A and B are shown apart, each in its own frame.
Chain A
Amino acid sequence: MSSKHKYLNDWAAYFDETGKVTRFAFRFFREAVKPPYEFRELLKQCYVIGYQSLFLVGLTGFIMGLVFDLQSRPTMIEFGAESFMPGMIGISIVREIGPVITALICAGKIGSSIGAELGSMKVTEQIDAMEVSGTNPFKYLVVTRIMAATLMLPILTIAADGIGLFGSYLIESYKGDVTFKLYINKVINILSFGDMVPSIIKTFFFGFAIGLIGCYKGYNSEKGTAGVGAAANVAVVIASLLVFVLDLIAVLISDIFYEL
């Protein structure tokens, strides 16, 4: 095969896959609004995706706050802007670093776990078994997981933001003798509605993308156990990439509103 043909085939495969993911997403919306609703499984998935990720996300947020403060502090002092530290860190964490880092951690943890779980269920015929027992496996497995990821990611992000700011406060308190009340006041004074709302809204899309890609890859996994590993791996890679793409889109849209 010539390199031109290979190039064209690669693009054809890319568009084919994009079309399939889009169809999968449309099916999610169709099935999500159609009764019966799987509330029990949705709650279970919220627990698995939300609560069981809280420690990892919290720890990452805490370290992020510590490191960010330690790294920025010398430069800010050099410019005589030490008093702006809480505000600068608050804006950075809430607007960008908190949502993106949380989404990337979740893409790794949740995306791979959903991809591997559904992939393994697919190759061991558990999904078929569910279907022949008269249960809609798409609704039971896919809809609940995508919804749980979409709902839990904003909550995890808020938690990571809070813990990250606390980490930053510890450094400020240790090195700059700032009280907790003063630190929080400075953060709150500088953060506006326009900083917080878009950053929370975009995390719903991050969660949706992570759940969608994990479920799509797992649900359509093939080629035995090797396929399960590939599904988990590809789910993480694509979900992480999508987080950045969605973040860029979100920032561009927010920018338009700022200019208005």
Chain B
Amino acid sequence: MKDNTPLIEIRDLHKSFGDHHVLNGFNMSLYEKENLVIVGKSGSGKSVLLKCIVRLVDIDSGTLNVLGQSIPDLQQEELDILRTDVGFLFQGSALYDSMTVRENLQFPLRRHSKRLQRPDEDKLILEALESVGLAHTLDLMPEELSGGMKRRVALARTLILQPKIILYDEPTSGLDPITAKEIIELILKVQNQYGTASLIITHDMDCARVISNRMIILVDGIDYGNGVYQELAISEDPKIRAFFK
């Protein structure tokens, strides 16, 4: 599975907000077609890490390379181009609530594929929605969708630019167990269909077990544990064991 060149490489990453040190020398690598799950307690800096990767938040120090490019050193235009290769599924879906589902999917498409003809555009939108099983929601507003459906549409919006990496911020949080299971299956299906690498932030251990090829346990701002689920599950370290109880 692993290629030698990581798609995302983070070394000695530090990020603080005032006196609060969130990341204290965090390290990780994400490889092609890999599902890497990062688990950590609430407030441990998982979401901040994802935001650092797409430079929604600036890092204090360390190395952060995505697709071979140093994120802190990129100019805005270069960053915007790179961001089309990195999809981001937000915890609350973040669908644009003044737009229909179709317009939500059109939005990134029109900004990055301006020469697309309307029929080609419609075809791509329909394909993306079909891949998440929601082709019938094309003209609905986000407020008319359930939590699980919103998550699926957000995933379709992420997929429409065919990114190489997808970052998932708590993809199953706030969902009932059945819908959460459907989302997990969808993530696996998407990974097989599109061949993307996924970085998934969660504290749902069921999700981590099913989805991960590899896991990182984030404790005290560092990559405290790193390995496959089965290895970590039998660890004697109390800080790691706490996640598997």
Contacts and interface: CB of A to CB of B under 8 A. Distances in A.
A78 to B, nearest CB: 54
B68 interface: no
Interface centre among A117, A125, A131 (most CB of B within 10 A): A125
A131 B95 contact: no
B112 interface: yes
B108 A134 contact: yes
A18 interface: no
B242 interface: no
A133 to B, nearest CB: 4
Contacts of A128: 51, 56, 88, 90, 94
A136 to B, nearest CB: 8
A124 B54 contact: no
Interface residues of B, number: 24
B56 A132 contact: yes
B111 A134 contact: yes
A129 B111 contact: no
A134 B94 contact: no
Given A124-B97, A135-B111, A129 B90 contact: yes
Contacts of B98: 117
A225 interface: no
Contacts, number: 54
A126 interface: yes
Contacts of A126: 94-97
Given A125-B90, A125-B91, A125-B92, A133 B97 contact: no
Nearest to B98: A117
Contacts of B88: 128-129, 132
Nearest to B160: A133
Contact of A129 (B76, B81, B96, B112): B96
Nearest to B87: A132
Nearest to A134: B80
Contacts of A133: 83-84, 107-108, 111, 157, 161
Interface in A112-168: 117, 120-121, 124-126, 128-136
Contacts of B96: 121, 126, 129-130
B215 interface: no
Contacts of B95: 126, 129
B111 A132 contact: no
Contacts of B94: 124-126, 128-129
A131 B80 CA distance: 8
Nearest to B158: A133
A214 to B, nearest CB: 16
B86 interface: yes
Interface in B25-84: 51, 54, 56, 76, 80-81, 83-84
A124 B111 CA distance: 22
Contacts of A120: 97
6 contacts: A125-B90, A125-B92, A133-B108, A133-B161, A134-B80, A135-B80
Given A126-B96, A134-B111, 15 more contacts: A121-B97, A125-B91, A128-B56, A129-B90, A130-B107, A131-B56, A132-B54, A132-B56, A132-B88, A133-B84, A133-B108, A134-B80, A134-B81, A134-B108, A136-B80
The 8 A-B residue pairs with the shortest CB-CB distance in the complex, in nearest-first order: A129-B94, A134-B80, A125-B94, A133-B108, A132-B88, A134-B83, A125-B90, A132-B54
Interface of B: 51, 54, 56, 76, 80-81, 83-84, 86, 88, 90-92, 94-98, 107-108, 111-112, 157, 161
